Chain A
Amino acid sequence: MSGKLHASERLEIISVISGFFGSAYMILGLCALVARTSGECLTRITPGNIGMSILLLSIGAVLLSSPTTFRKNIILSSAASLVGSLLSITAMVVQVLDVGATWLDDIIRSQSFGRGDIVAGLLRGDAFLGYFMLLVFPFVLKTVKEHIIR
């Protein structure tokens, strides 16, 4: 009995973590939209960009569905954590690769590329949140593998 309780506790933890990051993605996604249309909104980590806004909001929606479906459908809830973190890590990898590619491109075309651009690129919202999701991913994967997959 206690083992079962433990399992559901662990699953609840990952759904709460997903909810937390889901909200962060949502806020950044909305910010990217606001920054695009009018005024400033955390401009240092979210350049106004519709594509990026859509990406952040989509990942946010998937992650947020984890805590909201936890009571109703445990499989859906843990799947949301799993898929959401996979998406977020992929987004981070793509952004990091993009920073590398831009840097390489500037070398090829021998233009100047400031260190600041690299740092700003690596700290952009979609990369920044991805680092954290990469940290929690092993825990998500392990929990899901042990308690959901049969």
Chain B
Amino acid sequence: MSKKEGYIVALAGVPNSGKSSIFNKLTGGRAWVGNWPGVTIEKKIGTMRINSIEIEVVDLPGIYGLTAYSLDEIIARNFIVEENPDLVIVVVNATNLERSLYLALSILELEANTIVALNMVDLAEEQGIVIDHEKLSELLGIPVIPTVAVTGSGLKKLRELILEYVGRSKGRTNIVDYGYDLERAIRDVEKILQENVPEIIRKYPSRWISIKLLEWDEDVIRKVKSYAGGNEVIRKVEKIRAELQNKIDDLELFMTERRYQTILNIVKEVIKQTKAKGVTWTDLLDSILTHRFLGIFSAIAVLYMLFRFAFEISTPFVDLFSILINGYLHNRILGLKFLPSWLASLLADGVTNGVGTVVSFLPLIMMFFLGLAFLEDVGYMTRIAYLVDKLFSKFGLSGKTVIPLVIGFGCNVPAVMATRTIEDENERKTAALIAPLATCSARLPVYMVIAYAVFRQVAGAVVLSMYIWSVALALLVALALRKLVFKGPSAGFVMEMPPYIMPRSDIIGMKMWERSKRFLYKAGSVILIGVIFIWLLSVTGPSGFLGANALSSPRLLEHSWTGLLGKAFSETIFRPLNWDWRISVALIFGFIAKEIVVGTMAILYGIGESGLPAALAKLHAFTPVTGYAFMIFVLIYVPCIATIATIRSEMGSKYAVMAVAYELILAYTLALAVISFGHLLGVM
């Protein structure tokens, strides 16, 4: 160790190698999440402390190799070559050594100071795979430590190794022997580099650069060309490649094969398979869960139960929150005599009621994400992605899109963020733009109120039909976007399907909290501002300040800016839809967040929320046709400003505007279509 402070350790590994568990165990779960420069791929940084030495741990994206074809892989390798971390820990999946070693070899070729955490040795042993880690260490020439991240076994030893190895420099390795012809070519290219661009080999390992040039790696070619004399190098490499191609027709394939050959030789020496492969639990479960019919039945049952679990069992907690915030807290603030009445109203009617209504959905959101995190952790969601892929591919999406969509049924904000995991750019953007069409939990109460007010006996079926509309519209809009905006062929669907595992409470808890946090954050930021804005418009009107009690008095509210705006809407563009000004106001408020719609209607009709369906029915506020049109409108038009803000931060303002525009147009058109259809049938 040469320096005392400021060490950086990078954590690399293939997907499903338990890298996140190791990261969490090393850093104690405290992580700072940001983005890699210029892209929306998540970058996680945590700190660990060993013997009062602070070490920064950077979690690299889960990758299989270090090629230039995938953004994740470029990010990882650029981090290693540009930032020169003091140590790279490669997390290797012991149940599938071959694939993990490909990444390990690629990192070794980068001449990074590397150690290996041989993870999931317990699972491997269960499957009858015994790995001689000392032999592996000898063959790779770097330390190898067996770990079981979930239980924490081997982690102490790993920390000791980190402390011992961090900051060491690592020399040249010829871990892969590319054969006589190629090795000679590599040496030639190294010489050319030395002569023409000596600066580059002071910065990057020269063997690695040479190998990548011979592989015709576009990112490295760009790097070399950026130096003076770089073009000369590329011309010479082209000549060497041409000569080589007389003997080897596909250089890239040949080099990959040599790497696999090296891996195979290593694997043969270190692995003892003690049991023959038999029928595993995963085989057994998958024979049903990925079955073309039974798998779909099972998926329907599982998702239905997830929804019941979240929406029905959270009811008492949602009600408790709502009573505490919108009842107790609201009244307490109003009762604070030392506050001027306008400030008390702002805090109580505006902030507490508005934000409180959103926050009282927290139990529901948390339970939904708890169930979903469970399904993800045991490995079930990848099976659903497989089952829906054929259907989704007809709409220009891959099966992976199902995960953000399902998240969207809870809350659209984390749904938009979850589209990050989709590799293909066109597909990712499409998914982010259709995610708001997933009817989030906040829209359900609106459907319920209208359905029970107008449809009574068939209310359940009408609410269910909204979910069907939601999925159908999401797919159709996706198709339109793929055909008109995000054109281009699909990159091809490739997904690893890990074996089922026992649920791990710490990971499920963390995943649930990460998503729920985004929901809470949405309530605390954009929605807070929106709510204050709406409050301001409601307590003032053309005649000035209407009084703090405007928000609880339908009569006063009618003369506020909001009321006038509602009337302006109901008399102009909403006129064909036959919604009165109160409904229009509720929709304007709903632009901020759908959670507020029902509450607003309750205020404007001057009744409590629980009596709202009965009152709406009595007042004939809706006919079945205008009611259904209203539900369709609520389903489609902007879910909440927080979702739009998220689309903006993920993709830029242009796409946020596009999302709002298409949603408003589609919502209005379809609502109008419902009305016209009603006229046609004569049910108005």
Contact B294 A148 (CB under 8 A): no
The residue in chain B whose Cβ has the minimal distance to the Cβ of A83 is: B288
Given contacts A76-B287, A83-B289, A105-B316, contact A149 B305 (CB under 8 A): no
Given contacts A79-B284, A80-B288, A102-B315, contact A91 B300 (CB under 8 A): no
Contact B288 A62 (CB under 8 A): yes
Q: Check if A82 is an interface residue, CB within 8 A of chain B.
A: yes
Contact B312 A149 (CB under 8 A): no
Q: Could you tell me the distance between the alpha carbons of A102 and B308 in the complex, rounded to whole angstroms? A: 12
* CB proximity of B190 to chain A, nearest CB, Å: 52
Contact A91 B278 (CB under 8 A): no
The residue in chain A whose Cβ has the minimal distance to the Cβ of B286 is: A79
* CB proximity of A125 to chain B, nearest CB, Å: 14
Contact B313 A98 (CB under 8 A): yes
Q: Could you tell me the distance between the alpha carbons of A14 and B612 in the complex, rounded to whole angstroms? A: 51
Contact B285 A82 (CB under 8 A): yes
Residues of A within 8 A of B460 (CB): 49-51
Looking at chain B's contact residues, is the secondary structure mostly helix, strand, loop, or mixed? helix
Question: Which listed residue (B294, B301, B304) contacts A80, Cβ 8 A?
Answer: B294
Residues of A within 8 A of B287 (CB): 73, 75-76, 79
Question: Which listed residue (A54, A79, A100, A148) contacts B288, Cβ 8 A?
Answer: A79
* CB proximity of A26 to chain B, nearest CB, Å: 12
Q: Check if B177 is an interface residue, CB within 8 A of chain A.
A: no
Q: Could you tell me the distance between the alpha carbons of A59 and B301 in the complex, rounded to whole angstroms? A: 7
| CB under 8 Å from chain A, chain B span 296-351 | 297-298, 300-302, 304-305, 308-309, 312-316, 319-320, 323
Contact A94 B305 (CB under 8 A): yes
Residues of A within 8 A of B309 (CB): 94, 97
Contact A61 B297 (CB under 8 A): yes
Given contacts A50-B460, A75-B284, A148-B279, contact A101 B301 (CB under 8 A): no
Q: Mark B265-290, 1 if CB is under 8 A from A, else 0.
A: 00000000000101111011101110
Contact A101 B288 (CB under 8 A): no
Q: Check if A72 is an interface residue, CB within 8 A of chain B.
A: no
Question: Which listed residue (B288, B297, B305, B320) contacts A108, Cβ 8 A?
Answer: B320
Residues of B within 8 A of A104 (CB): 316
Q: How many residues of A contact B (CB 8 A)?
A: 38
Q: Could you tell me the distance between the alpha carbons of A57 and B298 in the complex, rounded to whole angstroms? A: 10
The residue in chain B whose Cβ has the minimal distance to the Cβ of A61 is: B297
Given contacts A51-B460, A58-B298, contact A101 B320 (CB under 8 A): no
Q: Check if A4 is an interface residue, CB within 8 A of chain B.
A: no
Q: Check if A71 is an interface residue, CB within 8 A of chain B.
A: no
Q: Could you tell me the distance between the alpha carbons of A18 and B302 in the complex, rounded to whole angstroms? A: 19
Contact B312 A98 (CB under 8 A): yes
* CB proximity of B356 to chain A, nearest CB, Å: 16
Residues of A within 8 A of B305 (CB): 55, 87, 90-91, 94
Residues of A within 8 A of B319 (CB): 105, 108-109
The residue in chain A whose Cβ has the minimal distance to the Cβ of B309 is: A94
The residue in chain B whose Cβ has the minimal distance to the Cβ of A75 is: B287
Q: Which of B278, B281, B288, B316 has the most CB of A within 10 A?
A: B288
Q: Check if B461 is an interface residue, CB within 8 A of chain A.
A: yes
Q: Check if B464 is an interface residue, CB within 8 A of chain A.
A: yes
Q: Could you tell me the distance between the alpha carbons of A65 and B294 in the complex, rounded to whole angstroms? A: 8
Q: Check if A30 is an interface residue, CB within 8 A of chain B.
A: no
Q: Check if A115 is an interface residue, CB within 8 A of chain B.
A: no
Q: Could you tell me the distance between the alpha carbons of A73 and B294 in the complex, rounded to whole angstroms? A: 14
Given contacts A50-B460, A82-B285, contact A75 B279 (CB under 8 A): yes
Question: Which listed residue (B279, B288, B294, B301) contacts A91, Cβ 8 A?
Answer: B301
Q: Could you tell me the distance between the alpha carbons of A75 and B279 in the complex, rounded to whole angstroms? A: 9
Q: Which of B281, B297, B464 has the most CB of A within 10 A?
A: B297
| CB under 8 Å from chain B, chain A span 37-60 | 49-51, 54-55, 57-59
Residues of B within 8 A of A107 (CB): 316
Given contacts A87-B302, A108-B316, contact A150 B297 (CB under 8 A): no
Residues of A within 8 A of B279 (CB): 75, 148-150
Given contacts A62-B297, A94-B308, A94-B309, contact A50 B315 (CB under 8 A): no
Residues of B within 8 A of A87 (CB): 298, 301-302, 305
Contact A54 B316 (CB under 8 A): no
Contact B313 A101 (CB under 8 A): yes
Contact A83 B283 (CB under 8 A): no
Given contacts A58-B298, A91-B301, A149-B278, contact A82 B284 (CB under 8 A): yes
| CB under 8 Å from chain B, chain A span 79-134 | 79-80, 82-83, 87, 90-91, 94, 97-98, 100-102, 104-105, 107-109
* CB proximity of B57 to chain A, nearest CB, Å: 38
Q: Check if A78 is an interface residue, CB within 8 A of chain B.
A: yes
* CB proximity of A32 to chain B, nearest CB, Å: 11
Q: Could you tell me the distance between the alpha carbons of A50 and B461 in the complex, rounded to whole angstroms? A: 7
Q: Check if A34 is an interface residue, CB within 8 A of chain B.
A: no
Residues of B within 8 A of A149 (CB): 278-281, 284
Residue ranges of B at the interface with A (Cβ–Cβ < 8 Å): 276, 278-281, 283-285, 287-289, 291, 293-294, 297-298, 300-302, 304-305, 308-309, 312-316, 319-320, 323, 460-461, 464
Inter-chain pairs besides A50-B460, A58-B301, A62-B298, 7 sampled, C-beta below 8 Å = A54-B304, A58-B297, A59-B297, A83-B289, A83-B294, A97-B313, A150-B278
In the complex, the 4 A-B pairs of residues with the closest C-beta atoms, listed nearest first:
A150-B278, A105-B316, A104-B316, A58-B297
Residue ranges of A at the interface with B (Cβ–Cβ < 8 Å): 36, 49-51, 54-55, 57-59, 61-62, 65, 73, 75-76, 78-80, 82-83, 87, 90-91, 94, 97-98, 100-102, 104-105, 107-109, 144, 148-150
